Amino acid sequence: MFANDNCIHYNDDDMDTIQYKSYILYIIIFLVAFCVYVAFLVSPVFAFSTAVGYLYKDNSIVSGNLVSVNSQNGSQYIEKANLSNNRQVLGVVDNSSFLTQSNGTGNVDYVSSSGTVLTYVSTVNGNITSGDYICPSPINGVGMYCESGYTVGRALDNFNSSSKNASSYSVNSVNGGKTTVYVGEISVDINVQYISSANSSGPINSILTAIGVPISGKPISLAQLIVVFIIIMTSIIFAGIIIFRSAKNSTISIGRNPLAKSDILRGFYSIATVGVLLVFVAFIVSFLVIKGWI
């Protein structure tokens, strides 16, 4: 019997090529799967908040109102936040919160002190830009832009008189007359805290907002930015060192033993793949840091 001349024969180089293409295909599939996973994570589905139930006496309180806590006769209840009770600001009412727990029995509203919540804001102190801090305003239960003070969080949307959900109201001005302001709802990353004017503005704040909002829906802290920078730069430098050394050693080895070229290149590609994966893992860890999960 003679071998069929129509059969396809592969030499070692052909097999190596097939294997390398297979490795590349696996990597591409993994990258695509990861991108889909990331897109799924940053979707609004994951932007829920955790809310705690508090007693209330004011039936006009609705979801989106800023509220403060009032302690009276040993019991606590919430009331709309304003400039007179801003030191006790608790958060934003969110009766549609995915996760809730009760802090009393009776008439209960759920208040979020973290997470992303639709919040009533106004132009009392000027237009609002994404990344601005939001604090109680002279209008009960409605927030405004501020540079310092007791804040409920940072705006994730812009708001001004031309916003599609803006409604005009006439309020008393500081000089005793009347002025027109606009009120509406925007998404706010809730994080109740006191801030000073020193850390509320400037180029650092813009960078933290630009990096954090597209990924996690909220600005990141300076500490997070430093950690992410260290992780990514360390991985790139380390990956570059091992790839460069492997390439140098492989070139020398091929010059000494040309017949072992395929094995040497296979070893180099393996090390290069490890270097690329190292950087890839660093980006994954950085993503988790920005999301606030690490």
Tens digits of residue pLDDT in 26-82: 565 456 555 555 554 444 444 455 678 888 888 899 999 999 988 876 678 899 999
**CA–CA distance, 222 with 203 (Å, rounded to integer):** 12
**CA–CA distance, 236 with 276 (Å, rounded to integer):** 9
**CA–CA distance, 53 with 88 (Å, rounded to integer):** 16
170's CB contacts (< 8 A; 6+ apart) are 178, 179, 180
**CA–CA distance, 228 with 222 (Å, rounded to integer):** 10
CA 170 remoteness from chain centre: 36
Phi, psi of 239, deg, nearest 5: -65, -40
**CA–CA distance, 147 with 206 (Å, rounded to integer):** 14
Give the mean pLDDT of the chain. 76
Both tokens of residue 172? 């008393």
With bands split at pLDDT 50, 70 and 90, how would you rate the model's confidence at 189?
confident
**CA–CA distance, 209 with 123 (Å, rounded to integer):** 21
Both tokens of residue 207? 């960078």
- 152: β partners: none
Element (H, E) at 116: strand 114-122
Torsion of Cα atoms, 16 then 22 then 23 then 29, to 10°: 170
Does the pLDDT value for residue 184 go beyond 90?
yes
CA 52 remoteness from chain centre: 23
**CA–CA distance, 46 with 218 (Å, rounded to integer):** 13
Percent of the chain surpassing pLDDT 70: 67
Q: Any idea what the Cα angle at residue 180 is, between residues 142 and 86, rounded to 5°?
A: 25
- Rounded to two decimals, the pTM is 0.55
> What mean pLDDT do residues 246-253 have?
81
> What mean pLDDT do residues 171-188 have?
82
With bands split at pLDDT 50, 70 and 90, how would you rate the model's confidence at 215?
low
Of the candidates 100, 109, 124, the one whose C-alpha atom is nearest the C-alpha of residue 64 is: 109
- The one-character DSSP state at 221 is P
- Cβ atoms of 52 and 115 within 8 Å: the answer is no
